[in-house]
Amino acid sequence: MHVSDKNGNKSTPNDKNCVIEAKVEKKQPITFTATADSPEKAFYEALEKIQRVLDTTLDKIKEH
């Protein structure tokens, strides 16, 4: 996970980024990025995205 501020000390809308990478055995890493007004909001948005994809990926693995 990496959180960054695009504009440093300047406060502009949607200037916080959060990048989360997940690795599932025998699969390519999955990376998600979210941009928001605060680091916390960017984190939770990225987390929601990755959770949806991981749920689907793991369900497919269980089916096989």
pTM exceeding 0.85: no
Q: Where are the domains of the chain?
A: 2-63
The β-bridge relationship of strands 30-36 and 16-22 is antiparallel
CB 50: neighbour CB atoms within 10 A? 18
Task: Please give the single-letter amino acid code of residue 50.
Answer: I
The closest of 14, 48, 23, 20 to 33, measured between CA atoms, is 20
pLDDT, residue 36, reads: 94
pLDDT profile of the chain (64 residues), mean per 10 = 84 88 91 94 95 92 83
The closest of 34, 38, 32, 33 to 13, measured between CA atoms, is 38
Whether 22 contacts 57, CB under 8 Å: no
